[in-house]
Amino acid sequence: MTITTDNLKDMVKAISTALSDSKSDLNALDSELGDGDHGTTICAGFAAAVNAIEEAQTPSEVLQKTAMTLMNRMGGSSGALFGTLFLRAAMTVKEFDDVSSELFGAMWQAGLEGVISRGKAQPGDKTMVDALSPAVASLAQASTAGTSLGEALRHAASAAADGAQATANMQAKYGRARYVGERAVGHVDAGAKSIALMFGAMADYWAQMNAAEEDSNGEA
């Protein structure tokens, strides 16, 4: 199975809904380590992206419009980082009308590389990279093993969630959290939590969509 332009639009919508359901949690996490605005900014960014992608015709256009909207609406360092994530993903799928399992993995791999080259944080530095990097590794593994897209997404979501949880034991070197030093230990990084919510939302969407399709096939 492949991901169509409409599926990708629905994924951005699902991400937006999942993030807004956790808006206050994300703000609370960011207030332990940063300035407490992460939930508010990322929710505003994705809510605007949902509108911006309405007319998009290709996967690349969906991801590119999402990227530009996140950069403009979120602003600051995280706007640039989440924007870069989607922009590099958009560049990877440029020539394609839909997104295969392999391409989906490659697209987030390129996104991760973009985030690292822009933000300089490596795994272990208590940032969004700590959730993104295990999700990308899990997608690559699934691709080699020939796992179905649904399974691959489920594993990637759980790898991202574990990665986000593991940031609780890390000390921050980047972002505002670097100022709080050892006091950061014990708290999950807000950006990593957002990445985990993103992959969770995409996996849930895909599972529900396939279940609905099986139901309607059964009835026919």
Residues that bind Mg ion (CB under 5 A): 30, 34-35, 37-38
CB 34 within 8 Å of CB 179: no
CA distance 188 to 183: 12
Residues 113-132 that bind ligand ADP (CB under 6 A): 115, 119-121, 127-129
Provide, rounded to whole angstroms, the least separation between the CB of residue 53 and ligand ADP.
21
Burial (Cβ within 10 Å: 0-12, 13-18, ≥19) of residue 32: middle
CA distance 161 to 173: 21
Residues 69-98 that bind ligand ADP (CB under 6 A): 76-78, 81
Q: Per CB under 6 A, does 176 bind ligand ADP?
A: yes
Tokens of 99: 């997104």
Q: Per CB under 6 A, does 109 bind ligand ADP?
A: no
CA distance 132 to 162: 11
CA distance 93 to 106: 9
Binding mask 136-175 for ligand ADP (x = CB under 6 A): --------------------------------------xx
Of 27 and 101, the one with the shorter C-beta distance to ligand ADP is 27
- Site residues for ligand ADP per CB under 6 A: 30, 34-35, 37-38, 41, 76-78, 81, 115, 119-121, 127-129, 174-176, 189-192
